[in-house]
Amino acid sequence: MLLEASSVRHTLLGLPMNTETTRVFPSSFDSLTEMSEFVGRAAQDAGLEPSAVYAVQMAVDEASSNIIEHAYGGDGDQTIECTCRVTDDGLTVILRDHGCPFDPGAVPAPDLEAELQDRCAGGLGIYFIRQLMDRVCFEFSERSGNTLTLVKRRETPPWPIVPK
């Protein structure tokens, strides 16, 4: 029986191969800690470095805060569905909500060159999420609502490299 290199690597390291876990959280700021722990565990399971685990947690926290505040208008009786998919090369996090439709193209790019006192309040969330993650994709459909897909790849192999 032949195994792919990624399968052998995952088996040797005890990393799950292509696993997916979904949890549904209340749309409340009180849920952010639990959501952060959930995605943090998945990022660790995916073999991400500690700085990458933190980046995933920060991006999900920012995105979820925006969902709670903007998509749901602070209504804590709604839900945010969070799916974590461990893949051969990292982690994919999918956030789904049924709040107000979101169009990232309608959000102006932040002016990072302006003096702090001349900058608008807010508006950096999407920028930060894009800086923290390797891939960010926003989708909306009447049936599925808002779907945000965040991808973080392992930058370095999670095993020691021995020089020749």
**pLDDT score for 160:** 52
From residue 140, give the alpha-carbon distance in Å to each of 7, 80, 117: 34, 14, 34
**pLDDT score for 106:** 72
Residue 102 maps to a domain? yes
- What pairing do the DSSP bridges indicate for beta strands 79-87 and 135-141? unpaired
- What pairing do the DSSP bridges indicate for beta strands 145-153 and 90-97? antiparallel
Residue 141 maps to a domain? yes
Q: pLDDT tens across 31-54, in order?
A: 999 999 999 999 999 999 999 999
Residue 93 maps to a domain? yes
Residue 7 maps to a domain? no
Residue 11 maps to a domain? no
Q: Has residue 12 got a pLDDT over 80? A: no
Question: How many folded domains does the chain comprise?
Answer: 1
| Residue of 65, 5, 71 whose CA lies nearest to 35 | 65
Claim: this prediction has a pTM higher than 0.85: no
List the CATH number of the domain containing 147: 3.30.565.10
Residue 12 maps to a domain? no
Of 25-39, 123-137, 145-159, where does mean pLDDT reach its minimum? Answer: 145-159
pLDDT grade, residue 103 (50/70/90)?
Answer: confident
Residue 135 maps to a domain? yes
> What DSSP designation does 69 have?
I
Residue 160 maps to a domain? no
What is d(CA 136, CA 126) in angstroms, rounded to the nearest whole number? 9
3-state SS of the chain: helix, strand, coil percent to 5?
40, 25, 35
- Burial track 63-95 (b if 16+ CB lie within 10 A, e otherwise): bbebbbeebbeeeeebbbebbbbbbbebbbbbb
| Residue 109: how many other CB atoms lie within 10 Å | 8
Domain hosting 106: range is 18-153
Q: Has residue 66 got a pLDDT over 80? A: yes
Q: Has residue 120 got a pLDDT over 70? A: no
